Amino acid sequence: MRNVAFLRSSEMTLVVICVAGVIGLAVASDGNSLSSNSIRVFLQFLAVPVLIGLAQMVVLAVGELNLAVGAMGGVAAVSSGILMADHGAPAPVAMFAGFGVAILAGLANGLLVVLTRISGFVVTLATFTILTGAQYRLVGTQTVSDYSDAVTSFGRATLLDRIPWIFVVACVVAILVSVFLRRARMGREMLATGGNASAAQLSGVSNDRSLVVAHTLSGAIIGVAAMLTVASSPGVNKSIGADWLLPSFAAPIIGGALLTGGSVVVLGTVLAAFVVRLVDAFRAEFQLEPTWVQFLIGAVVLGTVLLGQARKRRRRRALEPHPEQPTSRKVAAP
């Protein structure tokens, strides 16, 4: 039964799309997309979209939104780069500091949501503005690139001459997130809060704690994405993270996450990020305008949400009891 359910799931649909997309791209590029260098570049640019999709997914799991994904990553990245380039901090110290900045930003989001009782949409919109200003204040208009060779070497390192290590890190994070949400008690409590906050509270679950943990975990994942960006980019500046918001929503929503919370779609998020990356690869192959990619992704996200709402209404109607039909009685003739 479990195998049958998977074959009918959105993940299986995404698997088929991914396979078809890879084959189509190989045909369109005369096989060049399957070369070692092409695979390495493809996976290198896939690592960060996977991570920011997961960062959004864990917040969606509790019924929240995080609009500050890009600003959190940008501040973390430039903080790490400046510590190495301008202050001579050792690479491990600078990378850990940048990672910590993202965690603290996520923790602040969670605490603000709990203490103010304002929705995560409004809170993270405010912190997005604050962090964007902080990022510009830190780096200005310059690009910071004079940091440790060890960091940039890791960003270029590959496994088996095809798979970038930064993509391996992203996969490891995805596995850890999946195990945490499905196996750890705190992860299950987060899903309970997202599914039905009132029922979760009656069961002894602290909804406030779930919200704080979700936002903090989101910050931690964004911190990893920021550090991988520092390692794989030629430099960091005020534009780092500026284009993260749409992909962060696209991956989990296309992967099957519910905006109302209570769902985990780690595999679906990874596969959806792969599909979005395929779209961008097709765009580059046919030399189309980048705006077409944004238009297509936005349209797919909107269509996915509308389709999910239609399915939800259909299920609700199916579960509603049907009124009994009045039975006609024959009256015997006198």
Query: What's the pLDDT tens digit per position in 266-275?
Result: 999 999 999 9
pLDDT at 65: 94
User: How confident is the model over 93-112, as pLDDT tens digits?
Assistant: 999 999 999 999 999 999 99
Query: Among residues of the chain, what percentage have pLDDT more than 70?
Result: 91
Answer whether 239's CB lies under 8 Å from 70's CB.
no
Q: How far apart are CA 167 and CA 177, in angstroms?
A: 15
225: pLDDT confidence band, cut at 50, 70 and 90?
very high
67: pLDDT confidence band, cut at 50, 70 and 90?
very high
With a cut of 70, say whether residue 75 has pLDDT above it: yes
With a cut of 80, say whether residue 234 has pLDDT above it: yes
Query: Among residues of the chain, what percentage have pLDDT more than 90?
Result: 62
With a cut of 60, say whether residue 163 has pLDDT above it: yes
With a cut of 70, say whether residue 330 has pLDDT above it: no
Query: What mean pLDDT do residues 227-255 have?
Result: 92
With a cut of 60, say whether residue 124 has pLDDT above it: yes
For the four alpha carbons of 252, 53, 240 and 25, in that order, the dihedral sign comes to negative
User: How confident is the model over 310-320, as pLDDT tens digits?
Assistant: 766 776 777 67
Give the Cβ contact number of residue 251 at 10 Å. 32
Question: Tokens 């969606």 correspond to what residue?
Answer: 60
Instruction: Report in angstroms the alpha-carbon separations of 14 from 17, 261, 273, 295, 304.
Output: 5, 21, 10, 20, 13
pLDDT at 319: 67
31: pLDDT confidence band, cut at 50, 70 and 90?
confident
pLDDT at 5: 52
Q: How far apart are CA 105 and CA 112, in angstroms?
A: 11
222: pLDDT confidence band, cut at 50, 70 and 90?
very high
Mean pLDDT of the chain: 88
Q: How far apart are CA 133 and CA 74, in angstroms?
A: 11
Going along the chain from its start, the domains and CATH numbers come out as 47-307 (1.10.3470)
CA angle 257, 259, 264 (to 5 degrees): 30
Instruction: Report in angstroms the alpha-carbon separations of 140 from 75, 200, 239, 251, 282.
Output: 12, 46, 10, 31, 34
The predicted model scores a pTM of 0.90
Answer whether 47's CB lies under 8 Å from 61's CB.
no
